[in-house]
Structure 1
Amino acid sequence: MYSWKSFFRLIGDTRPSKAKLGIALGLSLISTIGGLVVPLLTRDLVDGFSLQSITPLSVILMVLAFVAQAVSGAVSIYLLNHVGQTVVSRLRDRLWSKLLSLSLPYYNEHRTGDTISRMTNDTAVVRGLISEHISGFVNGVISAIGAIVILLFMDWKMTLITFVAVPLCVAVIAPVGRRLYLISKDTQDETASFTTTLNQALSEIRLVKSSNGERVEYENGQKGITKLLKLGIAEGKMQAIISPLTMFVIMLILVVIIGYGGMRVTQGQMTAGSLVAFILYLFQIIFPVTQVTQFFTQLQKAKGATQRIIETLEAEEEDIHTGEELTRLNEPIVLEELSFSYPGSDEATLERISFRVEPGKVTAIVGPSGGGKTTLFSLVERFYQPTSGVMKLGGTEVSRYSLRSWRGRIGYVSQESPLIAGSIRDNVLYGLERQVTEDELNEALRMAYADIFIRDFPDGMETQVGERGVKLSGGQRQRIAIARAILRNPDLLMLDEATSSLDSKSEAIVQEALSNLMKGRTTLVIAHRLSTVVDADQILFIEKGRITGRGTHAQLYEVHDLYREFADHQLKVRA
């Protein structure tokens, strides 16, 4: 359960400047006091209005009051905005660090758009509360209390008449305000969902267009737009009730006060200047009440945003630094009775997997789709923790080594070979912490056969690859990924169907590049095409989460029926 305490603790963790907050609130107090002085000076001017009554002192006091109110108010608003921007910046920094530290299971359970919304929309709500509404709340409370005190001293009878309308106003507006809060909260949630829809469609725009999915995605987006429209209209209805009602109450109070006050002025019970001052103070009560209402509405929004932010900050994250430092991965990797089930699933994806990967040898993993091959790779990279069983390096459990050093010794080339938006150079050097010379870079590109196509680009290695590398072909992306892996100089190489999506010409080039990369390295290969792994030192056949066969190509061909079927079909077709 999240409370106001959670909200204020979250803000406190960003260490906002107490000095700036103090100065800003102090200046707000000065601005409010200046505003309270003005009606009294106005009263004196109205009551004794003549050229003789306007003394230099009264003019100076009036000017000083206006200047003090304007200057202190301006500086206060600036300081509160500065504090608010600083708080949201530190909060976003903390969230960004957290999001990069979260484990893969978190992203399996949470949509990308919702996660992005935590970073943008929810933190913006918190910033708005601090930079825009706190000042209005403090000023409003001080102004209202000060005005009420002064009015009671000026004319307590008229003041009590004024307050008769306040309970009526609160009784009508409060339920509307609560409804408005619920609508605002639903709008935040729907905005996050709409962001997810947009992100999903635009990030996979090639799939959308190649599948003629424009209509489907348009309809998905239109649903979000329609829901936001309905919520916006509902919010407009509430505003349509609040605004006229508030104006009606204000006008009613003014009519009553002007009528009753005018009668008292004609009877000599009140001066005209006092009536003017009374009306000015009345406005200093009415408008602050609106500011205070807005503050509490925003505070409710901030509470909801805080809940989602705290849920993200409290999510389990990877500790990549704790553990022993692994400098070389040059011993056998041993998996003993390894089982794994995805959270919420009753069915095991992998069940009692055991095998041994010898240093410098090639182990191939083959089998039908959905058998658990990619999940096995994820366990080796320690993206997930096994449900049971253990993985060892030599005789030491790999959990004793830090994630950072373990993954630092692994080179991974996947089927998709994802790239970041940027230049070819940026992508080849991505994630490397050591300095790389131009000679090393050129040698890696040569070994990956990437220099062949890079030379054809006018900008060479500074060529922009586009979002997710869309400006390059599949074979070109693969060769950049291989060059990146070469520069990492990994002890363990993991190839996840690295050539399965390529044409025969690109596959031949990439296969040569992979051969350069595999020399002398411990290698794990997932392959659908048996022709790429028939020479592997060890082949594991996995189906339905279990290893049903192991050995060389020749051994499996003799004893494993399904492997023989795979081999006969693929190798004869390719022949």
Structure 2
Amino acid sequence: MTPSDSNIYRRLFGFVRPYWRIFALGVLAMVAYAATETALPALLKELLDGSFVNKDPWAIHAMPFLIVLLFLVRGLADFSQTVALHSVANKMLVDLRTRAFDKLLSLPTSYFDAHAGAATLSKLAYDAAQVTPLITTALITIVRDSLTVLGLLGYMLYLNWRLSLVFFTVLPLIAWVIRAVSRRLRGLSRGQQRTQGEMTRVMDEAIGAHREIKVFGGAAYESERYARVAHELRHYTMKVVSTAAANGPIVQGIAVLALAAIIYYAALQSQNNQITVGGFVSFFGAMALLLAPLKRLSNVNEVLQRGLAGAASIFEILDTPGEPDAGTRSLARAQGRLQFEGVRLRYPQAEREALAGVDLEIHPGETVALVGASGSGKTTLMALIPRFYVPDAGSIRLDGIDLRELRLADLRANLALVTQHTVLFDDTVAANIAYGAQRHLSEGEIVAAAEAAHAMEFIRALPQGLQTPVGENGARLSGGQRQRLAIARALLKDAPVLLLDEATSALDTESERAVQAAIENLKRGRTTVIIAHRLSTIVNADRIVVLDQGRIHEVGSHAELLARGGIYSRLHRLQFADDGLPAAGEAAGS
């Protein structure tokens, strides 16, 4: 085992430590089982020499009883080791998965930008499951069978050291074979797990994009893509199987060559009366009993390397730095003043800065809309407020306190977020609304929030009202209905700063009108930052901030910006011309 393998095993045993009593019971049972394996050929010698050769009355009467007792102890030890170690392994797996899941919840947004969600899910579902055999199959084989081999070899030395030396000559060759196979299996196991994650990703994309696949006729392409990764997984799997399968026969072949030499040498010894019949049968039996644990020890590499690769994959998640939260200052309820001073940010591998020196102050209770073409920096600027990203330079202040000085929990407790891609949980309508408060709520509080969000009108029409399941990500609801539930959720949080990221995009006119009315209720008394492509939804904003290439180019009210004839006026004219609506000046007048 390499130093890195030893470190992984050591870390895994850190998860075993809380259950050390059950684990110790399993280890003791393994020791007892190994002892019965060594005792079997010893009893066989006494049975043959004592009962059949020397006609010893004690041996004749005692040996059958001792053999029965031996197998009773053996059976109890086998049961105890299996149950105890599987209990520990499954508890450890739950702890490992829980720790990894908790770590995922604390990872920064940049981690999820860089890692496919399906591949991460595969780590928790598939890779973590490969760890269990390290504590069950692999540990039982390594500890119990190693003790068995040592016990049998010791007994063989005690019985006939000359014959034992013949067998010992092949042990270095067996060790070399096992080491070579270990290295190959480790690399193959990593490839197998990587391909498993890729296959999960392809399946996840196909399920999520099933409508687009149907409309654009992409079934054949997706089928080919899945078949390609499935064949690659089969390729790795068969390499693992063939390598592991070849390992056992090679080791056994080497051992059988030594066995043949031992039989020949023992026959010569018997001619000179240097070994008894019982001694020869006992020695031969001990040597035969060696073959099974040696085979298991040689084959355990497949399980061991797959488990170590799985553990390494999980530890990659656990070792990923979480969101930086060095803030020490707390903030009960903010007034809502936001200040951006010289804010700059460049994404990894990006050609230019997403934000290139933004200065902006938003007053408490003010509604500010962020407008600009795609890639202008609107979403990035908003994402900095809840500290999904940290600026490379400059500072952002809430009520005069630098966001980096605030505890993350205190900062985010003062924020509510509604996005165009509404996220609902596969639960009831009531549970999704109450998610914003994260406390026990009465039905009256939930209904009040739903009324304010103009959601009760459709909730009452649902089969079970507030207790109606919404389906996966709200699949049983329309886009406008999902948005109103998200607004009700934000209302219940009652945060002083509200972030709206294109909350009315992609809605029909009727739904937009209902959602817009709900947003007006939500904005009341709160500092509101809005990202909007549909300019008709922000004409009443206190100020509109126009971004371009990561810089602020214009700031003013709707009427002021139209009169200025700059970027906003051009965007407005283009949008209203595309919609077949009145020209910019007419729209401004209305």
TM bracket (short chain): over 0.9
1:235 alignment counterpart = 240
User: How far did residue 363 of structure 1 move?
Assistant: 0.7
1:268-307 alignment runs, 5 A limit: 268-295=273-300, 298-307=303-312
1:15-26 alignment runs, 5 A limit: 15-26=17-28
User: How far did residue 102 of structure 1 move?
Assistant: 0.6
Deviations 1:188-230 (A, max 9, x none): 2222222222223323333433433322322221121111111
Counterpart CA distance in 2 for 1:560 and 1:335 is: 26
Does 2:404 align with 1:399?
yes
Which deviates more, 385-394 or 155-164?
155-164
Counterpart CA distance in 1 for 2:314 and 2:176 is: 33
Paired residue type of 2:31: L
Instruction: Provide closer, same or farther for how the CA distance between residues 341 and 188 of structure 1 changes in structure 2, counting only shifts above 3 A.
Output: same
Deviations 1:283-323 (A, max 9, x none): 33222223333445544444433433333222221256953
1:574 alignment counterpart = 581
1:341 alignment counterpart = 346
1:11 alignment counterpart = 12
Paired residue type of 2:581: R
User: How far did residue 165 of structure 1 move?
Assistant: 4.0
Q: Any gaps of 5 or more consecutive residues in structure 2?
A: 583-590
1:37-48 alignment runs, 5 A limit: 37-48=39-50
1:20-169 alignment runs, 5 A limit: 20-49=22-51, 55-169=60-174
Counterpart CA distance in 1 for 2:251 and 2:287 is: 14
Q: Secondary structure at the match of 1:55?
A: helix
Paired residue type of 1:11: L
The partner residue of 2:184 within 163, 170, 179 is 179
Which deviates more, 507-516 or 161-170?
161-170
Instruction: Provide closer, same or farther for how the CA distance between residues 560 and 329 of structure 1 changes in structure 2, counting only shifts above 3 A.
Output: farther
Paired residue type of 2:563: E
Counterpart CA distance in 2 for 1:566 and 1:345 is: 26
Deviations 1:512-535 (A, max 9, x none): 111121222221111111111111
Instruction: Provide closer, same or farther for how the CA distance between residues 380 and 560 of structure 1 changes in structure 2, counting only shifts above 3 A.
Output: farther
Counterpart CA distance in 2 for 1:151 and 1:564 is: 95
User: How far did residue 272 of structure 1 move?
Assistant: 2.8
Paired residue type of 2:29: L
Deviations 1:489-529 (A, max 9, x none): 12111111111100111111111111121222221111111
Which deviates more, 298-307 or 554-563?
298-307
Deviations 1:38-95 (A, max 9, x none): 1121222233556985633222211111111221222122222222222222222221
The partner residue of 1:415 within 413, 420, 445 is 420
Contact conserved, 1:20 with 1:79, CA < 8 A, in 2? yes
Which deviates more, 542-551 or 150-159?
150-159
Q: Secondary structure at the match of 1:276?
A: helix
2:371 alignment counterpart = 366
Contact conserved, 2:149 with 2:294, CA < 8 A, in 1? yes
2:471 alignment counterpart = 466
Contact conserved, 1:475 with 1:502, CA < 8 A, in 2? yes
Structure-2-length-normalised TM-score: 0.91
Counterpart CA distance in 2 for 1:457 and 1:331 is: 37
Counterpart CA distance in 1 for 2:180 and 2:440 is: 63
Does 2:488 align with 1:483?
yes
Instruction: Provide closer, same or farther for how the CA distance between residues 178 and 328 of structure 1 changes in structure 2, counting only shifts above 3 A.
Output: closer
Q: Secondary structure at the match of 1:17?
A: helix
Counterpart CA distance in 1 for 2:3 and 2:569 is: 60
Paired residue type of 2:393: S
Counterpart CA distance in 1 for 2:211 and 2:385 is: 32
Paired residue type of 1:525: I
Counterpart CA distance in 2 for 1:120 and 1:574 is: 52
Instruction: Provide closer, same or farther for how the CA distance between residues 399 and 178 of structure 1 changes in structure 2, counting only shifts above 3 A.
Output: closer
Counterpart CA distance in 2 for 1:330 and 1:296 is: 62
Does 2:542 align with 1:537?
yes
1:251-262 alignment runs, 5 A limit: 251-258=256-263, 260-262=265-267
Paired residue type of 1:508: R
Paired residue type of 1:3: S
Counterpart CA distance in 2 for 1:108 and 1:193 is: 16
The partner residue of 1:354 within 359, 367, 370 is 359
Q: Secondary structure at the match of 2:541?
A: coil
The partner residue of 1:376 within 367, 381, 384 is 381
Counterpart CA distance in 1 for 2:157 and 2:126 is: 44
2:441 alignment counterpart = 436
Instruction: Provide closer, same or farther for how the CA distance between residues 568 and 422 of structure 1 changes in structure 2, counting only shifts above 3 A.
Output: same
Aligned length: 575
Q: Secondary structure at the match of 2:333?
A: coil
User: How far did residue 485 of structure 1 move?
Assistant: 0.9
The partner residue of 1:548 within 550, 553, 560 is 553
Contact conserved, 1:80 with 1:132, CA < 8 A, in 2? no
The partner residue of 1:506 within 495, 505, 511 is 511
Paired residue type of 1:21: F
Deviations 1:250-294 (A, max 9, x none): 544444444554565466443332222222211332222233334
1:208 alignment counterpart = 213
Instruction: Provide closer, same or farther for how the CA distance between residues 436 and 17 of structure 1 changes in structure 2, counting only shifts above 3 A.
Output: closer
Which deviates more, 179-188 or 43-52?
43-52
Q: Secondary structure at the match of 1:73?
A: helix
Paired residue type of 2:401: T
Q: Secondary structure at the match of 1:494?
A: strand
Deviations 1:143-176 (A, max 9, x none): 1121112112222232223334444444555434
Instruction: Provide closer, same or farther for how the CA distance between residues 321 and 483 of structure 1 changes in structure 2, counting only shifts above 3 A.
Output: farther
Counterpart CA distance in 2 for 1:2 and 1:33 is: 30
Contact conserved, 1:320 with 1:404, CA < 8 A, in 2? no
Paired residue type of 1:10: R
Paired residue type of 1:22: A
User: How far did residue 450 of structure 1 move?
Assistant: 1.2
Paired residue type of 1:19: R
Counterpart CA distance in 2 for 1:504 and 1:276 is: 92
